[in-house]
Amino acid sequence: MSGTIPIRRILLIRPSALGDVCRSVPVLASLRATWPHADIHWLVQDSFREAIEFHPLLDGVVPFRRNLFRGGRLSPMRWRLWLRWLMNIGRGQWDLVLDCQGLARTGLMTWATRAPIRVGDRAAREGAWLAYNQMASVETDVHEVDRMLAVALAAGATIAADASLYPGPHARTWWRGHPSGLSTSRYAVLATTSRWLSKAWPRSHWVELASAMREVGMDTVVLPGSQYEQPEVGHTADAMRATGIKVEDLSGRTSIAQLMAVIEGAAITVSNDSAPLHMAVGLGGRCLGLFGPTDPAVVGPWGLPEQALRAPLIEGAPHHYRDARIGDSIMRRLAVDQVAHRVAELIRGWDV
């Protein structure tokens, strides 16, 4: 269908989560490669817009104020705001819309655009597929990025394997002028937190890894984290400092764009299965992901399978990341020596 309708305005729908937004950039690159003169916009959660708004291939951002619409089932006023917002999307005169999230909320957004071409995954959940008039058949257990690229293929796009991210000039200037002076130093970013305990490498392991970083010429580590993760990151920073490691605790002190600038300048980013890892993929690819209950073949650093380590699973034992019984028991099986050895291999290889 996209071959018979002029494609002038395109909307990419991927509101959340932050890591998923970052790894959706290859879809944007593919759309731009196929329709170089189209006006391409991205519908994204307003709190995540900095992850993509400075991308040179993007013409504009449609912010989704998710917090404003929370509780809509209970508040008639919020229902009215939600409907008014959907109606505004429908005034965008979109020719092509891609739903790269595939949930009821994004399906409704897709339908509300009134675009003549609305593309999504045939297996989209919560009935989202009802909003599409063109569907992608995606293989199971493929990487999440490849799943989204299958939607782009179904829309008629030619795939461009480019995951590059751009922090923007203001964030880079902020980091160059940061009081720590680290922008001109050699440092590692250690993303020690995770929303899910089951995905989190234990604090004691991170402290040992920070000490081991000295063997590859780094005695300074930077710890990112959200405002809500500040207490946890602070305890980790204190434990590292007690071993003589220099630590810059940036938890709760950076915007998304500023965090991207920090990661961009790092010698390596070591991360749990969380957003900083997917940022690092698009900011030079100098990263190592640590996995346990989640499969790096599906959610790992895209295009960099050798830059992921997974803790061994025990046959018959629970291993779904949402299972509260797991705690951090799986991640504890990922040995510090194994991670430190792989970090050293990667850094030495990049330094050649």
Ordered per-residue pLDDT tens for the chain, 352 residues: 556 689 999 999 999 999 999 999 999 999 999 999 999 999 999 999 999 999 999 999 999 988 776 655 657 777 888 889 999 999 999 999 999 999 999 999 999 999 999 999 999 999 999 999 999 998 888 999 999 999 999 999 999 999 999 999 999 999 999 999 999 999 999 999 999 999 999 999 999 999 999 988 888 999 999 999 999 999 999 999 999 999 999 999 999 999 999 999 999 999 999 999 999 999 999 999 999 999 999 999 999 999 999 999 988 888 888 888 899 999 999 999 999 999 999 999 998 6
Report whether the peptide linkage leading into residue 308 is cis, meaning its omega lies within 30 degrees of zero.
Answer: no
Domain 169-351: state its class: alpha beta
Specify the CATH superfamily of domain 9-154: Glycogen Phosphorylase B; (3.40.50.2000)
Order of all β-strands in the sheet with 117-121: 60-64, 39-45, 9-13, 96-99, 117-121, 134-136
Q: Which sequence spans correspond to the domains of the chain?
A: 9-154, 169-351
Predicted TM-score (pTM) of the model is: 0.95
